[in-house]
Structure 1
Amino acid sequence: MQPILSIRHLSKTYASGLTALKDITLDIRRGEIFALLGPNGAGKTTLISIVCGIVNPSSGTVTADGHDIARDYRAARADIGLVPQELTTDAFETVWATVSFSRGLFGKRPNPAHIEKVLRDLSLWEKKDAKIMTLSGGMKRRVLIAKALSHEPRILFLDEPTAGVDVELRRDMWGVVRALRESGVTIILTTHYIEEAEEMADRIGVIRKGELILVEEKHELMRKLGRKQLTLHLAAPLAAIPPGLAAHRLELAAGGAELVYSYDTSAAETGIPALLQDLAAAGIAFRDLHTEQSSLEDIFVSLVRGTR
């Protein structure tokens, strides 16, 4: 299947000399949730701004559903919805008016049935006649999503969609995003909440200093770069690790009462059985054990720090 969004050799250098993007090449699959992660200043917003036609690239091309964003701007932009990080909505307008106006900006004919569906899907229907200024922060964010969906885009950018909202509302928003994907909308998500990407994304991209350093299926990323620790609570403490266990990456902890084995998740099937066999051969017994696995946040931190 052809990607719905195709980015080729995209770079951006500002007049000040700052290079915000360096040769970005990326395909977004139709119908996926793609999480773009990176520290502040990594280039996430610049990339989104170029794709959405807000910033001009220095070089490279972008096509949205087959439309070049430079040569066929109107068709490309009509396929894209953007939910910005900042709340930028006319406070004195009603919910219905501001969402309907957004649809008109794209030259779309009025479609009250579509606007009603969007508002109902986002739990905004009962607030349709309320002025924006009277809404809570979470409701205002929902209005931004409604505005972005008003012209029926096939690609939706969510730039920090849950920034500044409480945990309960954040989980509600996750449900909204999943429902949008189920309806056929492709989602590109930027977030500082790593658990948000871990919960929702199909694939993860990590950008650092303007360079896309990794694009991977979420589960494959966790499998390849995730690390685990097996902690064995020994029946009797050890003064040192026996030479027969030197082939394993082991450390003594808790005054010799615990033996800690660190391993890659990909090595779990062979490493642990071999360790247990060697422990039995060395006459070392244990009374309990537990495992810990690195989270996506651990992997992300190590990537942006350049330790992987």
Structure 2
Amino acid sequence: MMTVSPNTEPAIRVRGLEKSYGKLEVLRGVDFDVGRGSIFALLGSNGAGKTTIVRILATLLKADAGSAGVNGFDVATKPSDVRASFSLTGQFAAVDEILSGRENLVLVARLRHVKDPDAVADDLLRRFSLTEAAPRRVSTYSGGMRRRLDIAMSLIGDPPVIFLDEPTTGLDPEARVEVWETVRGLAGRGTTVLLTTQYLEEAEQLADRIAILHRGRIIANGTLAELKQLLPPAKVEYVEKQPSLEDVFFAIVGDPGSDNPRTTSERK
């Protein structure tokens, strides 16, 4: 039987992670921890290396250097234990449009050899507010409903960790808010969430901690309040304006198209 590591250890630990494709350095020494039951946002633009990190943590890709662990298990030496510890939801909903919502859930529960798959499906349908839509074909679902169903499917078997790789890509604002509420609910039940996103507002709304990934390196890591402190104090004229996460992001990363992030001293 797989043993779960003590709760004092972080749910995810990454140290010195490197990955290159030929001469292209995608990851250049990445370090971060994710506390249990928290939402951790990995924020960066396209090509920053977010999905590469997720693929390494999911044992789908081998790192060139460094180490990574999920739920106390090393991804290189104990990949089977790692795979038993997480679920992965990619950028596009992996649901069968021909089947109904309930049939999708029952099918996955049976494939994972979960006891009483019908009861598991009904419980998840209630949790994700999909009971009324359960008999309908998924092809009739809205984007937000499909994504909620996709996340519900990933929770079958109660994994302690879930990777959400840009889960709101292509969704309209209303559907995005639906997914945000779903993610908050996951953390509220004790699930650890690693969220990759390029949407600044998404990280600001959801994350307990935010790491900014730029050109293969983590260049800032902290709570939203800590990241805001990287900017000079707000100037009070008529009304004090607190910096948004977008202000912090571009102040750290630099102007679009710039190869070098601005240092703290350069921002003062």
Shift, 1:4, TM fit: 1.0
Does residue 23 in structure 1 map to residue 29 in structure 2? yes
Q: Name 1:91's counterpart in structure 2.
A: 97
**Superposition deviation, residue 298 in structure 1:** 0.8
Matched, 1:150 2:156: yes
CA deviation string 1:219-242 (max 9, x = no partner): 2222333641222xxxxxxxxxxx
Which residue pairs with 2:242 in the alignment?
Answer: 293
Which one of the candidate residues 230, 239, 247 is aligned to 2:236? 230
**Displacement after TM superposition at 1:108 (Å):** 3.8
Task: Report what 1:239 is aligned to.
Answer: none
Contact 2:143 2:175 in 1 (8 A): no
Q: How many residues align?
A: 250
Q: Is the 8 A contact 1:100 1:150 kept in 2?
A: no
Q: Contact conserved, 1:229 with 1:293, CA < 8 A, in 2?
A: no
Question: Is 1:76 aligned to 2:25, yes or no?
Answer: no
State the one-letter code of the partner of 1:90. D
Partner residue, 2:9: 2
Residue 258 of structure 2: aligned partner: none
Structure 1, unpaired ranges of 5+: 232-288
Q: Deviations over 1:198-252 (max 9, x none)?
A: 1221111011111111111222222333641222xxxxxxxxxxxxxxxxxxxxx
Answer yes or no: is 1:114 the counterpart of 2:123: no
Select the structure that is richer in strand: 1
> 2:80 aligns to what SS in structure 1?
helix
Whether the 8 Å CA contact 1:78–1:106 is kept in 2: the answer is no
> Cα deviation per residue 1:248-278 (whole Å; 9 max; x = unaligned)?
xxxxxxxxxxxxxxxxxxxxxxxxxxxxxxx
What is the CA–CA distance in structure 2 between the aligned matches of 1:188 and 1:86, rounded to whole Å?
A: 16
Q: What TM-score do you get using the length of structure 1 for normalisation?
A: 0.75
For structure 2, the 5+ residue unaligned runs are 1-7, 255-260, 264-268
Per-residue CA deviation, residues 83-114 of structure 1 (Å, 9 max, x unaligned), is: 11123322222222322333444454443333
Structure 2 match to 1:51:
57
For each residue in 1:103-136, what CA deviation from the matched residue of structure 2 results, as whole angstroms up to 9, or x when unmatched?
A: 4444544433332222211111222222222211
Cα offset for 1:49?
Answer: 1.0
When residues 112 and 71 of structure 1 are mapped into structure 2, their CA distance, relative to the original with a 3 A threshold, is farther
Which stretch shows the higher mean deviation, 220-229 or 17-26? 220-229
Residues 52-90 of structure 1: CA deviation (Å, up to 9, x unaligned): 122222222222111222322222112111111123322
What pairs up with 1:188-267 in 2 under 5 angstroms? 188-225=194-231, 227-231=233-237
Q: Comparing both chains, which one has the higher relative contact order based on Cα–Cα distances under 8 Å and sequence gaps of 6 or more?
A: 2
Please identify runs of 4+ aligned residues in structure 1 that moved more than 6 A. none
Partner of 2:72: 66
Q: Give TM-score, length-normalised by structure 2.
A: 0.86
